[in-house]
């Protein structure tokens, strides 16, 4: 059985989460587009799921989510309109409460997830080994989803 998520896709997301945005852009440009639509998107979503679970599983109140999103907008974005707060909050709450997000288009979900994922991982201050461990877990979950 082959794994739907490739090593190149993991390396691409790893570069982004490590703050190597030029490396991420270069690696992303080299990904097979058809494979990335399934594998990379699944990896990104699984990583987002894992990061949200790690951050909010114990204290995932709506207030905590709202506070986190406001903090992300203040700390990580050049322009506040890069992240629509209600969409960001709904994506996080969908993991915690099964809120329906079917009305959101795929591109909006992906763009929002990638911004939030970076902030979630940055807040964890993972070393290289910790980041690798996180990505192993995300890849396992993504592979389960794409079987």
pLDDT for 130 beyond 70: yes
Mean pLDDT of 69-83: 83
Please tell me the predicted confidence (pLDDT) of residue 59.
78
Mean pLDDT (the chain) is: 91
pLDDT for 76 beyond 80: no
Q: What is the CA angle 112-12-57, rounded to 5?
A: 45
Q: What is the CA radius of gyration of the chain?
A: 15
- 58 φ, ψ to 5°? -85, -35
Domain for residue 96, yes or no? yes
Domain for residue 78, yes or no? yes
pLDDT for 32 beyond 80: yes
Domain for residue 88, yes or no? yes
Mean pLDDT of 115-119: 96
Mean pLDDT of 27-52: 91
Domain for residue 54, yes or no? yes
Identify the domain containing residue 108 by its residue range: 7-145
**52 in Cβ contact with 92 (< 8 Å):** yes
pLDDT, greater one: 147 or 10: 10
pLDDT for 2 beyond 60: no
pLDDT for 116 beyond 80: yes
Please tell me the predicted confidence (pLDDT) of residue 33.
84
Q: At what angle do helices 128-145 and 33-56 cross, to 10 degrees?
A: 110
Domain for residue 2, yes or no? no
Number of domains, the chain = 1
């Amino acid at each position: 059985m082959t794994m739907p998520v490739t090593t190149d896709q993991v390396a691409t997301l790893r570069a982004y989460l490590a703050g190597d945005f030029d490396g991420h852009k270069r690696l992303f440009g080299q990904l097979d587009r058809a494979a990335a639509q399934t594998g990379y998107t699944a990896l990104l979503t699984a990583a987002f799921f894992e990061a949200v679970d790690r951050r909010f599983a114990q204290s995932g109140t709506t207030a905590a989510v709202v506070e986190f999103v406001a903090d992300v907008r203040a700390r990580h974005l050049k322009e506040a309109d890069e992240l629509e707060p209600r969409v960001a909050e709904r994506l996080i709450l969908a993991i915690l409460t099964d809120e329906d997000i079917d009305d959101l288009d795929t591109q909006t979900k992906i763009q929002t997830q990638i911004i939030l994922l970076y902030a979630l991982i940055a807040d964890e201050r993972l070393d290289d080994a910790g980041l690798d461990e996180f990505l192993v877990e995300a890849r396992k979950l993504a592979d389960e989803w794409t079987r």
